[in-house]
Structure 1
Amino acid sequence: MKTHLITSQVPRTSPGPGVTVIGVLVALWCIAFAVVNIVFEVTDYFARGPLAEYTAGITVMNWLVVGFKTLGAAVALLSVVNIQKLHLPAIMTVLLWGAFATLGLYALGSVTQALGMISGFAGTADQIDLAGIGYVIMFLLAAAGFGFLAVSYSRRYGTRRGYAVLGVVGAPVVLGLILIAVPKLLFTFGLLPAY
């Protein structure tokens, strides 16, 4: 008679503690940035100033951004937990790589803009302040965090590279189209100025 030893093996899809910490930190980053937008709404920040007549349209865009940031937090957390009902490796891979690419492109654009200011090509170096530098660094860190989560998740679940490519290429395009189409629609209804 054979004796069977029952061992509790961690499934290969479980992340290590370092990956989990990064997932939680990235989720907290997303939530913190969403809170900023919520504070804008609660304090009627956009009801004052030169665009006060467009508060309704700005509010729509602001809540859209809150939605994207909340989605980012959910994706970061879901990438480091094993919830069988939410086991969707293909979708998660696309979303993780998409978040990495979108934040990476945004941060790269900000760095390029800063280099243009430093070189005098577009503005002056005097326009760069500590708050702006911190802002760009925060986005670089968030992009790196999502990149780390995307690589870890893809390896753990052995997802196809095509899903990563779809996320990297598709997410910035889809987000760009949304951020063009929604303001145009709001402009059509007189809720935003022409840009």
Structure 2
Amino acid sequence: MVSTASAASATDRPQAPARPGIGVTVIGRLAALSCIGFAVVNVVFEMTDRFADGPYAEYASGIAVMNWLVVGLKAMGAAVALLSVAERPRFVPPARLGVLLWGAFAMLGVYALGSVVQAVGMAAGLTGTADQIDVAGVGYVLFFLLLAAGYGVLAISYSRRFGLRKGVALLGVLGAPVVLGLILLAVPTLLAALGLMPAL
């Protein structure tokens, strides 16, 4: 009787989520490495006083604020990517990490698609000229499209592993444009009002 009860109890316990596949794990680590790499660029800018001279020298303080804000976001992106491929949830509840993953996917997707629209506008002569489009710019946009796709893979894999509801994805996708708007519009506007950046 005891062994039967024990077996039934063991069956009732929720099974631990399957480990992510090798491909997903590689994507998670590459995404984290990309975020750290881009964060290092911003740190180097600040350590070398890149914006202390030149046309925007008087706004160096405002640019520094934006730079460190971006460093924080990139560090968070790296942490989210690594946590998504961990065997078990750590530090962040699964639903909350799911929101962050879907949010990262949506934010990068909106940013990359916005860059594509801008490039199309340049090619069509609507904003700027086609001469402004170079190989470096195209590579930059393609990189962010790939990074967005990578976070999409991580979000789907993580949601399936932990059986997250669709509302988690919806919250992340809808919340991302709001965060992106705060970063690209609200913060620079505030800094401009304080005289730390040029008026938009």
Give me the TM-score of the superposition, normalised by structure 1: 0.90
The 3-state SS of whatever aligns with 1:46 is coil
1:107 to 2:112 alignment = yes
Matched with 1:98 is 103
1:33-56 residue CA offsets vs partner (Å, 9 max, x unmatched): 111111110110111111101111
Counterpart CA distance in 1 for 2:125 and 2:186 is: 33
Q: 1:184 to 1:125 in 2, by over 3 A?
A: closer
CA distance in 2, matches of 1:41, 1:138: 24
Asked if 1:176 corresponds to 2:176, the answer is no
Deviations 1:117-169 (A, max 9, x none): 11222222111101001100110010000000000001111101001000001
Match of 2:126 in 1: 121
Deviation at 1:87, TM superposition (A): 4.9
Instruction: Say yes or no: does 1:88 pair with 2:99.
Output: no
Task: State how far apart, in whole Å, the 1-side matches of 2:198 and 2:92 are.
Answer: 43
Structure 2 runs not aligned, ≥5 long: 4-14
Residue 35 of structure 1, aligned match among 37, 40, 53: 40
- CA distance in 2 between partners of 1:180 and 1:119 (Å): 26
- Which of 54, 58, 65 is equivalent to 1:60? 65
Match 2:161 to one of 142, 156, 164:
156
- RMSD across aligned positions (CA): 1.8
Partner AA of 2:71 in structure 1: V
Contact 2:116 2:141 in 1 (8 A): yes
Change in CA separation of 1:186 and 1:123 when aligned onto 2, cut-off 3 Å: closer
Q: Which runs of 5+ in 1 are unaligned?
A: 3-9
Match of 1:193 in 2: 198
1:166 to 158, 161, 171: 171
Q: Which residue of 2 aligns with 1:133?
A: 138
- 1 CA distance for matches of 2:35 and 2:121? 28
Match of 1:22 among 19, 27, 34: 27
How many residues align structurally? 188
Give the deviation of 1:115 after TM superposition.
1.1
Q: 1:68: how far off?
A: 0.4
